[in-house]
Amino acid sequence: MCLAVPMKVTSIQGDRARASLGDVEREIGIAMLPDVQVGDYVIVHAGFAIQRLDEQEAFETLELFRQMAELDDQDGRPS
Amino acid sequence: MGGILDKRAPAILLDHGSGGRASRRLVEETILPHLRNTLLDRLDDAAVLSLDGARLAFTTDSYVVDPIFFPGGDIGMLAVHGTINDLAMSGARPVALSAGLILEEGLPLADLDRVMASMARAAKAAGVPIVTGDTKVVARGAADKIFINTAGIGVVPPGVDISGHHGRPGDAVILSGPIAEHGVAILSTRAGLSFASSCKSDTAPLAALVAEMLDACPAIHSLRDPTRGGLAATLHELASQSRVRIEIDEAAIPISEAAASACEMLGIDPLHLANEGVLVALVPSEHAASVVDAMHANPLGGSARVIGKVVDGDPLVVMRTMVGGKRMVALPSGQPLPRIC
Amino acid sequence: MKFLDEFRAPDAAQGMIERIHRLAARCDDVTFMEVCGTHTMSIYRHGIRQLLPPNVRMLSGPGCPVCVTPNAFLDRAIALARLQHFVVATFGDMMRVPGSSSSLREEKAWGCDVRVVYSTLEALTIARENPTRQVVFLGVGFETTAPTIGAAILEASATRVRNFSVLSAAKLIPPAMAALVADPALRVHGFLCPGHVSVVIGSEPYDFLARDHGMPCVIAGFEALDILQGIVMLLQQVVEQRAEVEIAYRRVVSPGGNPAARRILDDVFEASDSTWRGLGVLARSGLRIKPELRDHDAARFEVDVEPTREHPGCACGDVLRGIKTPFDCKLFGKVCTPDDPVGACMVSSEGTCAAAWRYGRDLG
């Protein structure tokens, strides 16, 4: 029930914005994110931005994946 | 359709036209039983008839696409390329086409003119003339702007014997180019799906590409162009007709970022979307490399690659996913619908 | 595709799968329930089940809003679609779902004006463009979708689009999880919690599961690596004998959720008792449109609805509760297939049975 994709906000017009995923652009509703800014990454579900995507957290998560992928001690945690 | 939905007289649903399971059932249960004969029952893209020592390929297709003008093409161009491609999928050199037009009352003459100009350009560029045709007009509402039927004949060179039934364990599965471009181009213009994508239809005539592939390997087993129902439907047809299992690798399937993004947004599987300038080939493994090389030399085959192999087993299509898992590739039920779940 | 491709990287996946195997070697058999239907779909899409060790099992839960919506809702939607001046607008997910005797796509074939939309705002546009028709949007979804439905209602009210209304079937996830965890027949060792529902509600609504029921909970995203990370974290809790609510999907879920989205819900809806296929009536588990917005509530339309019929052999209820797998249902694959679905679990785009049929059979 939760299909959503990360998109970048390219322009804002009142209660609507234009956002893009790669080359694909569409109009979205931003009523759930009144403080959204152009250039923000947002998660879009059913044509609405439901939350900003925190890029720092995204990079940290990817770094965590990288660490999880490395060999570690018996407890299954990075040594 | 049966089960608990069968309360009124069964009728045609849009899903029956989408190239998936519903379409297959319609043909097998309602149409074929009346018409059975050896050639038709093979259900290849074209029928190959033996006539006085020559082998003639004969095919027909109808084009009802809406909208009639879409990014990268129009219904006229599609009607020419699509039938040329059906001939090419039998290994035939296309010789001539017919064109039957059904025009809805109210269709602007300027639109008809534009479609006809496009058909003429496409036929000329492909070197396949439209030699006979027919035009009918129906009342407003009895057709949707313009419907086109094209039939085509071609000559199959000696030594070429291509059919969906000829796939064999060990064959390489080769895809000629990126998938889902046409399907996304169409979806992007539908009312209610309001996004601007740079996806253009990939509609193109594939006969020259096929001729070059056959030069590299006259013994190609199967060729098919994944139109309605997408790559999933085509691989299923080939698996069922040849009674083999097909295994493909998700990471090997070429797709543009624009098409992939559009599919992600709509929750549609790109394997279910139509392609109009792409083909799948089942090629004996020892020739796969030379066929791919030959394809790379053709503008329509620049991204050609081996995406999988044919193995022994029940007719199924299985895909190795990007993360190394395995899943079945199912025949789509009906029209791809955007979803939120 | 930015923020998608990186979360599907094969080499990172390989490492996480190895870690899952190492952790699983230190547990007995464990079963985790993925509550959300989109998680079920993603698990099948990426073939994750085949990558897990034999003693780690994923069980699908009732987080498919289409599946848990009872026939009566669809029957009412169909009855409205049959009315002369009505347009029914719906997410694509609902089109093929069987009601008691028909489905929206059948009704469309028979001439009813049924339109698939990707967003409630498109339904609103249809209403603006067709002022003499009554446009009813089928409001199916959980907390992720409900604010989008609410936003459309507020905009319709503010801009006086009088011919736009919603037939609400929106439901809330935490009451369903409470019902699951109270069910003695359910044996799970942790929950993979819905990532996008949690974007709206935050992590606090799940606290009772860890605190009162000792249930490990991890809020996970939907890409392959997100799901694998969620499973790693659940296994870690099991191995370390912890029961906490952890957020794996940190790039979009914060403990406090999205307050603006929740304000929209408060402005438009009130909690009501709601019937869930398989779980029965759960108190305060559904969202009903507030009386002051009655003009946009399609429940006010009087229409004759056929008596509800459920197919006797249909096991959707048990499948949704995690008591049966699709393969345990007598009808699966024989009478009930995606072409001839008996229950919603088979035809919903993310229904457990649909996923099993499409992706999971015969994978020898």
Contact across the interface for C12 and A4, Cβ inside 8 Å: no
Residue listed under structure tokens 């390329």: B81
- Residue C300: phi and psi, rounded to 5, are -75, -15
Q: Which subunits sit against B, judged by 3+ Cβ pairs under 8 A?
A: A, C
A52 CB neighbours in chain C (<8 A) are: 252
Q: Does A20 touch chain C (CB under 8 A)?
A: no
d(CA B122, CA B100): 16
Please tell me the predicted confidence (pLDDT) of residue B191.
41
A24 CB neighbours in chain B (<8 A) are: 195-199, 258, 261-262, 265
Contact across the interface for B195 and A3, Cβ inside 8 Å: no
State the count of interchain CB pairs (< 8 A) between B and C.
150
What sign does the dihedral B183-B189-B191-B194 (CA atoms) show?
positive
Nearest chain A residue to B340 by CA distance is A3
**Candidates A2, A23, A27, A48, partner chain B, best to mutate (most B CBs within 10 A):** A23
Query: B29: distance to nearest CA of chain A, Å?
Result: 35
- Give the DSSP letter string of B280-328: EEEE-GGGHHHHHHHHHTSGGGTT-EEEEEEESSSS-EEEE-TTS-EEE
What sign does the dihedral B195-C119-C230-A56 (CA atoms) show?
positive
Closest CA to C228 of B238, A55, A65: A65
B198 CB neighbours in chain A (<8 A) are: 23-24
pLDDT average, residue stretch C117-124: 94
Q: pLDDT in tens for each of the 341 residues of chain B?
A: 333 344 467 788 877 887 777 888 888 899 989 998 888 888 888 999 999 989 999 999 999 988 899 889 999 999 999 999 999 999 999 999 999 999 999 999 999 999 999 999 999 999 999 999 999 999 999 999 999 999 999 999 999 999 999 999 999 999 999 999 999 988 887 743 445 666 789 999 999 999 999 999 999 999 999 998 999 999 999 999 999 999 999 999 999 988 998 898 888 899 999 999 999 999 999 999 999 999 999 999 999 999 999 999 999 999 999 999 999 898 877 777 877 87
Which ipTM was obtained for this model? 0.92
Among partner residues C118, C228, C335, which is closest to B266 by beta-carbon distance?
C118
Closest CA to A34 of A47, A18, A21, A16: A16
Question: Is the model's pLDDT at C23 over the cut of 60?
Answer: yes
Q: What are the tens digits of pLDDT across the range C263-273?
A: 999 999 999 99
Contact across the interface for A68 and C260, Cβ inside 8 Å: no
Q: Do residues C238 and C218 lie in contact, with contact meaning Cβ atoms separated by under 8 Å?
A: no
Residue length of chain C: 364
Q: Do residues A33 and A52 lie in contact, with contact meaning Cβ atoms separated by under 8 Å?
A: yes
Please tell me the predicted confidence (pLDDT) of residue A1.
65
Query: A11: distance to nearest CA of chain C, Å?
Result: 18
pTM assigned to the model: 0.91
Alpha helices, DSSP H, located in B30-100? 32-35, 38-41, 75-88
State the count of interchain CB pairs (< 8 A) between A and B.
44
d(CA B246, CA B319): 8
Please tell me the predicted confidence (pLDDT) of residue B197.
60
Residue spans of chain A under pLDDT 50:
73-76, 78-79
pLDDT average, residue stretch C210-216: 97
Tell me the pairing of strands B93-104 and B130-138. Answer: parallel
Please tell me the predicted confidence (pLDDT) of residue B192.
38
Cα→Cα distances C184→C171, C174, C187, C188, Å: 23, 18, 8, 10
pLDDT-derived band at C361, boundaries 50, 70, 90: low
Nearest chain A residue to B188 by CA distance is A24
Contact across the interface for A46 and C264, Cβ inside 8 Å: no
Contact across the interface for A23 and B261, Cβ inside 8 Å: yes
Q: Does A63 touch chain C (CB under 8 A)?
A: no
Beta bridge partners of A20: A8, A25
Please tell me the predicted confidence (pLDDT) of residue B194.
47
